Amino acid sequence: MKNFALIGAAGFIAPRHLKALKDTGSNLVAALDKHDNVGVLDSYFPNADFFTEFERFDRHLDKLKRKGEKVDYITICSPNYLHDSHIRFALRYGANAICEKPLVLNPWNLDALAEIEKETGKKVFTILQLRLHPSIIALRERVLNGPKDKVYDVDLKYMTSRGHWYQSSWKGDLSKSGGIATNIGIHFFDMLMWIFGEVKKNDVYSLTASQGSGYIELEKARVNWFLSIDYDDIPEAVKAQGKRTFRTLSMEGEEIEFSDGFTDLHTKSYAEILKGNTFGLQEAKPSIELVYDIRNKERSPKP
């Protein structure tokens, strides 16, 4: 049984990590969040120590290490702009880091983290769960086994409605979240590159606090993409079902269904991490470079 600590226990994504820890037979010994609405811990690890101050969390982990009860992994679910600092803390403490997307906001931060990996002998792992989705794996195999010179026409749309709170939180602050392409799009951009290869061309048609659209030319695909957190962008038929999220991926006009099967992907990710078969800095780099380029690129006219 591996010992874990968790940074960001009150966040939206933390319960998925807590479930993954429980499902993989791991042990959470300590958690940190400046907010104390962390009753979710009772459902998974009621005996975990909890801290609202980083300094006390740091001191507690140090005491555990000196008593021979060292934490093996530190899971990071904090706001995007804090990931880099919290990963550095984990590595220098002597633990491996497991961090939610995006690992960092700027590509050059990855190079610095690679240096700290070498210095400490510890590793950084990220959650790229769509690479573990059965439908996505099948699509990648289909493309790999298809005609070598084939370039596919692909459309990606992802709309996930967010309330007014979103723009008032750190997620609505470009300097803290990286904006919509980084905060909600990075998994999908990673998925596209994993399936269709490296970026050859990147055009951004529009990018606001709530929507984004553009065109990416990959080695084996021409991709039109659209992202939104605006409820009004969700198709009426989907709204009629009481749903607030809609995702669709089509290739050559054929719908690729991957709406289901998300529930256990964090657990699968943790199982692979604990076996040593997972994604690190180099796997995360292409998508971080792309979303950085998207948010800093001049807008192109839509054809």
pLDDT per residue as tens digits for the range 269-294: 999 999 988 899 999 999 999 999 99
Give the separation between CA 257 and CA 74, rounded to whole angstroms. 34
- For residues 155-184, give the mean pLDDT: 96
pLDDT at 263 over 70: no
**Are 42 and 165 contained in the same domain?**
no
**Are 38 and 79 contained in the same domain?**
yes
pLDDT at 234 over 70: yes
Using one digit for the tens of pLDDT, what is the confidence trace for 73-105? 999 999 999 999 999 999 999 999 999 999 999
Number of domains in the chain: 2
pLDDT at 9 over 80: yes
Give the separation between CA 31 and CA 7, rounded to whole angstroms. 6
Preceding amide of 46 cis, omega within 30:
no
Lowest mean pLDDT segment, chosen from 106-110, 134-138, 140-144 = 134-138
**Are 118 and 155 contained in the same domain?**
no
For 232, the token pair is 């009004």
Residue with tokens 């093996």: 72
Helix (H, G, I), strand (E, B) or coil at 218: strand
Lowest mean pLDDT segment, chosen from 61-70, 152-161, 256-265, 278-287 = 256-265
Asked if residue 208 belongs to a domain, the reply is yes
**Are 107 and 67 contained in the same domain?**
yes
Check residue 261 and give its pLDDT: 61
Asked if residue 301 belongs to a domain, the reply is no
Residue of 262, 38, 81, 278 whose CA lies nearest to 28: 38
- Write the CATH number for 70: 3.40.50.720
Asked if residue 302 belongs to a domain, the reply is no
**Are 6 and 99 contained in the same domain?**
yes
Check residue 90 and give its pLDDT: 98
Strand partners, 206: 213
Domain end among 107, 126, 145: 126
**Are 233 and 111 contained in the same domain?**
no
**Are 108 and 190 contained in the same domain?**
no
- Write the CATH number for 160: 3.30.360.10
Give the residue numbers spanning the domain of 103: 2-126
Q: Are strands 199-207 and 211-218 parallel, antiparallel or unpaired?
A: antiparallel
Check residue 277 and give its pLDDT: 82
Domain end among 79, 105, 126: 126
Check residue 41 and give its pLDDT: 98
**Are 122 and 139 contained in the same domain?**
no
**Are 118 and 173 contained in the same domain?**
no
Give the separation between CA 201 and CA 222, rounded to whole angstroms. 9
Lowest mean pLDDT segment, chosen from 116-125, 180-189, 226-235, 240-249 = 240-249
**Are 56 and 204 contained in the same domain?**
no
